[in-house]
Chains A and B, each alone.
Chain A
């Protein structure tokens, strides 16, 4: 029976139907567009959630901790700028002066209870604060190049390091397979296989690896990388003798060295020449590039992370002062996004990482 022929109903029967269809259609279109923007319609999207979940599956219990570089120690000190950087960047902490630093040493693992002495990659993070509140945060590694050039490869490498539930260990073939199929990672792998091991955070050079841009007062920008170069020479230790030093040796070594006086690093900025890659952290720049020593990092004090000042900072390398900016390196946005996710998780899990553990650390 058609509505138009029913005398009980008025004639333009299709108008409200059309009206409701339009309303429903508008709501559905808006909701679908929103779902698309949020990635719910594209489950294959590499999200910070997936990245951070993979990072947290490399052994131990990272709940409450950073999902990468999970084992570490806080430090405090100052950055003494010599003013040499001001010709290249308007960053306030490059002007001659002294600026407070809260930083962190760590090893690049996912297990917060790992043996620090066995960490192949050591890292230094710094947060340098200028009087107006501008900040320069940087996370640096003691490797000459980064292991991958893009977030997808980093995710695949992380999966290769994840614990196999069947054995409780990572599949050793998975890492081999990764390096065999990712030739861009060969330079890193070469370093990992051959570089001498040391038993200290204090004797390492820490490199920004990613490229950034220094912007001067005239608005000119220059592509740079930077390094923290230690005042003391590395002391190689045979890998076979490391384990005997104990699982917290790097922390003990740092506290011991600082009890005798501050440790210093020179902050050296390297300028790219035309053609040097700004978007590929797996490639070192030639060693003859211009460098400028812009100041000295002085580390005065080390503190346990659990109640230390670095604990609640996210060392997002894209938190930069005016005068320093990101390059086109795709790792930088990925680091920023994933670090934020890791920070959000551990901030919510603070109860799982007590500030004053009963009985202290083993």
Chain B
């Protein structure tokens, strides 16, 4: 909506950082729980399920907010390849935020497991009880989890690239601190020199 602003709305920033923490927790809990027989296994599983459903609810809210408020424009001088990379990686991140909880929920449904969130609160199955379907979804959940973590590392590296190397306002747009050069404003000489030297 506000195409001129160079910062995400406060609600968008709160959602981003909250979900960043939740998703990182999910990925670490996921790899930790499938590799242990210790008592923490049950604790981690008990967190993993409701946290995943909470992420699914929040990403729906977040897409609504994004549709309502839009996003600050990328710097006008951002090379096309980087701009395309930014778009694609964000599509991938949103896609994974939606797909991972749904696949997890579907996988438990296909495995014939009750989907217990907390105490007596259960979700209904969303797929039929079918072992081969369970196997496909488990593979998808696993592969996409690693892909998700890799995409987050790329996202982190790109955010720091904007903050430390390009010194444009992309990092400021979500962090709320750091350099605010203004969207579309050309790089200053110092930043230009750093970009050139980095090439």
A222 CB within 8 Å of chain B: no
For B37, give the chain A residue with the smallest CB separation.
A334
List B contacts of A45 (CB < 8 A).
35-36
On whether the beta carbons of A9 and B37 are closer than 8 Å, the reply is: no
Verify if A33 is at the interface (C-beta below 8 Å from B): yes
Tell me the B125-153 residues at the A interface (CB within 8 Å).
129-132, 134-135, 138-139, 149, 152-153
**Could you say which residues of chain B place their CB within 8 Å of the CB of A347?**
111, 131-132, 134-135, 138
Which segment of A16-24, A104-112, A267-275, A294-302 sits at the interface? Answer: A16-24
User: Are A135 and B156 in contact, with the CB atoms below 8 A?
Assistant: no
Residues A312 and B194 in contact in the complex (CB < 8 Å), given A46-B37, A318-B42? no
A49 to B114 CA separation, bound complex (whole angstroms): 23
Chain A contacts of B69 at CB under 8 A? none
The reply to whether the CB of A326 lies closer than 8 angstroms to some CB of chain B is: yes
Which of A34-42, A245-253, A285-293 is the contact stretch?
Answer: A34-42
Q: Please classify how large the interface on chain A is, using the bins under 10, 10 to 19, 20 to 34, 35 or more.
A: 35 or more
Asked whether any CB of chain A lies closer than 8 Å to the CB of B17, the reply is: no
Whether B165 is near chain A, meaning CB under 8 Å from some CB there, is yes
Chain A contacts of B120 at CB under 8 A? 132, 134, 321-322
Which stretch of B24-32, B56-64, B80-88 is in the interface? B24-32
Using an 8 Å CB-CB cutoff, how does the interface string of B43-75 with A read, 1 for contact, 0 for none?
001000000000000000000000000000000
Is B5 at the interface (CB under 8 A from chain A)?
no
- B28:A34 contact, CB within 8 angstroms: yes
B22 → A minimal CB distance (Å): 16
| CB-defined contacts of B161 to chain A, threshold 8 Å | 19, 23
Q: Complex Cα distance A351/B164, Å?
A: 53
Mask: chain A, 4-40; 1 = CB below 8 Å from B; 0 = not? 0000011011011011101100110011011001110
The B-contacting residues of A in range 300-332, CB under 8 angstroms, are 311-314, 318-319, 321-322, 326, 328, 330, 332
Tell me if B34 and A48 are in contact (CB < 8 A): yes
A residues near B190, Cβ cutoff 8 Å: 10, 12
Q: Is the CB of B122 within 8 A of A333?
A: no
Q: Is B1's CB within 8 Å of the partner chain A? A: no
Any B CB within 8 A of the CB of A235: no
- Which among A45, A313, A344 has the highest number of chain B CB atoms within 10 Å? A344
CA distance A344 to B133 in the complex (A): 11
Bound Cα distance A163, B194 (Å) = 63
**Chain A residues, CB < 8 A from B198:** 16, 20
Let me know if B113 is at the binding interface, CB within 8 A: yes
Q: Is B39 close to A, CB under 8 A?
A: yes
In the complex, the answer to whether B114 meets A330 with C-beta atoms within 8 Å is no
Q: Does B94 contact A (CB under 8 A)?
A: no
A-B contact pairs, 24 of them (CB 8 A): A9-B197, A10-B197, A20-B164, A26-B160, A30-B156, A31-B153, A34-B31, A37-B32, A47-B36, A51-B37, A134-B122, A314-B113, A321-B120, A326-B42, A330-B39, A333-B37, A333-B39, A334-B37, A336-B42, A337-B37, A344-B135, A346-B131, A347-B111, A347-B135
Known: A13-B197, A334-B41, A337-B34; 13 extra A-B contacts, CB below 8 A, are A12-B194, A20-B164, A20-B165, A39-B35, A39-B36, A45-B35, A51-B37, A333-B42, A336-B41, A336-B42, A336-B45, A347-B134, A348-B138
Among all A-B residue pairs, the 4 with the closest Cβ atoms: A38-B31, A19-B164, A348-B135, A322-B120
